[in-house]
A and B are shown apart, each in its own frame.
Chain A
Amino acid sequence: MAGAKGDKPAKADKAAKVAAAVAKSSKGRKKETGLGLTNTKDGNFGEWYSEVVTNGEMIEYYEISGCYILRPWTMAIWDVMQNFFDPEIKKMNIKTCYFPLFVSNNVLQKEKDHIEGFAPEVAWVTRSGDSDLEVPIAIRPTSETVMYPYYSKWIRGHRDLPLKLNQWCNVVRWEFSNPTPFIRSREFLWQEGHTAFATKEEADTEVLQILELYRRLYEEYLAVPVVKGQKSELEKFAGGLYTTSVEAFIPNTGRGVQGATSHCLGQNFAKMFEINFEDEKGEKAMVWQNSWAYSTRTIGVMVMVHGDDKGLVLPPKVSSVQVIVVHVPYKDADVKEIINACSETVKTLCDAGIRAEADLRENYSPGWKYSHWEMKGVPLRIEIGPKDLASNQVRAVRRDKGTKVDIPMAGLVDSVNGMLDDIQKNMFEVAKQKRDACIQVTKTWDEFVEALGQKKLILAPWCNEEEVEKEVKAKTKGEIGAAKTLCSPFEQPELPEGTLCFASGKPAKKWTYWGRSY
């Protein structure tokens, strides 16, 4: 692909000269190539992360803080996820549409709780050309207030329901705290679904259907284990009735990440925006609404969970290149024949629907290429040298485990498919084991504080009172952020009668995950 060709790292030319020498010492950091990471995941996670996303050619930093350039390596993953999610919701008869980026101030202000949540983050267009606008115009931080006046207009009778729309777009939240690529950026891409129903039951059902799709996106595509659950009153979506989410966890930092959210908005927005309908008995009723979204944050979570000291590790299902084929020319070997074998291999794999590419560039050594594609996280590398050619086999190296196996050319497709499946499965299993090892059940305040210090994902019995959560937040407020509820998992362990809340000592109502979060 010509497009990918242009995406070489900046220091590529210099790197090529020293690559051969470095490649021999395959262990340790390869600073000389310009390819290695200068930070380790355990050593300095934050620096490691920004190095991985930039050196892995996913992100480019930009002049405007908090805005990032999403490079083809990222967009390919985004496209794969969209190609899963979009047909799934279309099967649910949810239609795609596009609402404007610009929101007028009076519409934005309509729902009070909602705007209180978002107002501090809004970016405003105040000028056009050389003249000031009479009234500043907001750029959508989310589209509830843009869309709902139309729902009010379009919905008349019960036959207009359900109204189920989704859009793929960019949104802007002008936050100032620690912008982090993918995880917290001022502009990001997402899908936002907005639906309206005649009954609460229908809305409730859809909230969970969508949440299940989000779980599948994380677990089946990104190989990231998540917990499905409900947000606390304090953490729920501003203006909504209740919020469900899938929560991921980053063991290295001990932080939870809200992976995606599916909100039941109840009738609050319907009331504000007068979204009424005539029911079957001819009586006026208000609709029940949901909204739900996942964003480019998903990709950041995946990088954080799977990446290692060599760079990105991409799950085969989402990687734009699943197999990279590298030729290993030796002195006196017939290079042409090796190159032909590489091209043949790529063709065989591509014909079988595997996303394979060959790196046949002659100005880079095999060692340089190994590092390069490891940095980019390609799940499987196939090396072909004269010996492989002679014995009619290829060498396959897994990115997740680093294991090497020789596989016969005959049956190549089956072997590769099997390995890709296994990598996908293994990445999820490993991530799940690591996550599970971090889960700590705490029943008292002291245990809680200790576990928090150990970067645990804390599961604790809680009285479910907003005041108590606020207190916990206040008491744990340190340099690295206060602890808060992540979610109350739908799968609740048994809560014996008489169990007390770890924080307040009042009778506990449910088990809830706590931790610091992104």
Chain B
Amino acid sequence: MGALRLPCLTSIVSVSSARSSLFPRGRSSHLLNVRKLSSTAKVEVAPAVQEQGITPRSQDFNAWYLDVISMAELADYGPVRGTMVIRPYGYAIWEAIQDYLNIKFKESGHSNMYFPQFIPYSFIEKEASHVEGFSPELALVTVGGGKELEEKLVVRPTSETIVNHMFTQWIHSYRDLPLMINQWVNVTRWEMRTKPFIRTLEFLWQEGHTAHATPEEAEREAMQMIDVYTKFAYEQAAIPVIPGRKSRVETFAGADRTYTIEAMMGDRKALQAGTSHNLGQNFSRAFGTQFADENGQRQHVWQTSWAISTRFVGGIIMTHGDDAGLMLPPRLASIQVVIVPIWKKANEKDEVLDDALSVKDVLHSAGIKVKLDDSDQRTPGWKFNFWEMKGVPLRIEIGPRDVSSKSVVISRRDIPGKPGKVFGISMESSVLVPYVKEKLDEIQSSLLDKAIAFRDSNIVDVSSYDELKEAISQGKWARGPWVGSDEDELKVKEETGATIRCFPFDQPQGPKTCLMTGSPAEEVAIFAKSY
């Protein structure tokens, strides 16, 4: 499968100049030509058009990523630098993430609520390391309703402080514990280097906050939530993340321990895709969040917080996408099957469309997310490319011959060309529905398998700093024993650009020697360059 044969937008670098660039509008003349050329699924496209396709992934990963986001209509640049408009096709992925996680959170006893977006600056200052970590990125509101505000307000970068302010008022005795809440909100961090989905000034996330009577319970909760995230990543997003613990340097500002899931993107850079923090008593001490235990003793609560954001959408794009564009795991795809009807003569159109419609109804009533692309503005070939680029897992073609044989042609997005194409699948519901469901499942697991193979072939076990440098310079992840100091870690970062992504939960057995210091080491760490 070559480069996407579609007219393209200008690569979206700034929105100001983008007025003229929207795909696929204003290109009708090209498309008419295409249509005349193509009477079958095979489309030859004028070179002029081809030149503007998606940048091949292998050629320039970053340009490819931006092209996919723009052409698949996932997002657009926002009006303020570093912000992003999430378009319906991109938002649908976020909705699928929400639908899954919201149920998991509620099942595990968390309630949704909503805290105000504005936080008095004095709250943020209460936890020393927290304010230190966040202050450079805070957006401050100082004027409201035409007046200077008495106290400057922070646009929430995260809600630990306001949550603790309220927990202090709500928690009195051990009977009030555990207190477990979650909210789905926007947060703001005034970042300098931004990238759609991955790092934006404003992003959407869920943030869970819990308070417990004992450190053991808090630890269990923090681990439980990173486990929820891990399962989600594997089973829904087909992303084989590596769960583990962050190093001291990378631990959340104000946490005792941070757990993370680290994903390998298609360019082999690491993406921190979700975190769960054991906050210990840091915030409860700063805010005086106490409870009377069963013996009537006042104690500070033990807390956690955990979050997954729209960054995860970027992770899905960068894990599965290929030169042809986006590739969505079936369980998160808002369109799982696209039906493309094919006709040449006018008299064929009606019967083809009739059958396409009834196939659509059959799949729809079986709970499959299906779209029929029956527009007559585009050729079938154009549609094939378009929906491939949009990452729809399965395509069903129905032409006049299929109508007479009452069968359809089914193509897999994840297997390009003929090998992924099967002819003669009966339109009969009892045959078609199980077949489609089975294929969707196969795609889901094959995406995961592929990602696992890719991940594993790009992690190198290292036992010395030289080996680590070598692995990193090859763009790989390095895994090796580590008891180095914070300074050692920073040195690695300066010299190689790699950071400790995590100490994976899954640890090799046997004695270890720190790759940097030569001292006996308890565990291995994973080093990689990251987003």
Contacts and interface: CB of A to CB of B under 8 A. Distances in A.
B338 interface: no
Q: What DSSP secondary structure best describes chain B's contact surface? A: mixed
B135 A129 contact: yes
A361 B176 CA distance: 12
Nearest to A125: B139
Contact of B180 (A6, A68, A139): A6
A6 B79 contact: no
Interface string B353-385: 000000000000000000000010100000000
A3 B208 CA distance: 12
A4 interface: yes
B8 interface: no
Contact of B172 (A13, A156, A172): A13
Contact of B118 (A64, A75, A137, A160): A64
B63 interface: no
B114 A75 contact: yes
Contact of A149 (B79, B114, B138, B176): B79
Contacts of A62: 116, 162, 166
Nearest to A64: B118
B152 interface: yes
Of A70, A97, A107, A174, most buried by chain B (CB within 10 Å of CB) is A97
A352 interface: no
Interface string A146-170: 1001101110110110000100011
B491 interface: no
Interface in B144-176: 144-146, 152-153, 155, 162, 165-166, 169-173, 175-176
Contacts of A2: 109-110, 178, 180
Interface stretch (B18-26, B267-275, B463-471): B18-26
A4 B169 CA distance: 15
B115 interface: yes
A79 to B, nearest CB: 7
A410 interface: no
Contacts of A98: 85-86, 91, 94, 204
A409 interface: no
Given A174-B144, A189-B114, A104 B95 contact: no
Given A103-B79, A103-B80, A10 B111 contact: no
A137 B142 CA distance: 11
A175 B190 contact: no
B67 interface: no
B116 A64 contact: yes
A128 B141 contact: no
B79 A104 contact: yes
Contacts, number: 203
Contacts of B426: none
A74 B113 CA distance: 8
Interface stretch (A116-124, A339-347, A369-377): A116-124
A81 interface: no
B143 A100 contact: no
A262 to B, nearest CB: 21
B46 interface: no
Contacts of A70: 113-115
Interface string B169-205: 1111101111111000110101000000000011010
A271 to B, nearest CB: 16
B80 A157 contact: no
Contacts of B113: 69-72, 74-75
A369 to B, nearest CB: 14
B452 interface: no
Nearest to A147: B85
Nearest to A277: B25
B140 interface: yes
B484 interface: no
A123 B112 contact: no
Nearest to A4: B111
Given A100-B202, A150-B76, A152-B19, A1 B86 contact: no
A75 B25 CA distance: 41
B166 A101 contact: no
Given A64-B153, A130-B135, A5 B176 contact: yes
Contacts of B171: 6
A96 B89 CA distance: 9
B135 A136 contact: no
B188 A101 contact: yes
| Most-contacted residue by chain B among A6, A107, A176, A187 (CB, 10 A) | A6
A139 B172 contact: no
A129 B172 contact: no
B290 interface: no
Nearest to B187: A101
A5 B76 CA distance: 43
B78 interface: yes
Contacts of B43: none
Nearest to B138: A129
Contacts of A101: 83, 155, 186, 188, 202
Given A6-B170, A98-B86, A146-B79, A123 B178 contact: no
Contact of B85 (A60, A99, A159, A169): A99
B446 interface: no
A170 B185 contact: yes
Interface of A: 1-8, 10, 12-13, 60, 62-64, 67-72, 74-76, 79, 95-104, 107, 119-130, 136-137, 139, 146, 149-150, 152-154, 156-157, 159-160, 165, 169-170, 172, 174-176, 186-187, 189, 361, 363
Interface of B: 15, 18-19, 22, 25-26, 28, 76, 78-80, 83-88, 91-92, 94-95, 109-118, 120, 123, 135-146, 152-153, 155, 162, 165-166, 169-173, 175-181, 185-186, 188, 190, 201-202, 204, 211, 375, 377
24 contacts: A1-B109, A2-B178, A4-B111, A5-B179, A6-B176, A62-B116, A72-B113, A97-B85, A98-B91, A100-B79, A100-B83, A100-B85, A100-B202, A102-B79, A102-B83, A107-B79, A120-B146, A125-B139, A125-B155, A126-B141, A127-B140, A156-B26, A175-B145, A361-B175
Sorted nearest first, the 3 A-B pairs with minimum C-beta distance are: A6-B179, A3-B111, A156-B25
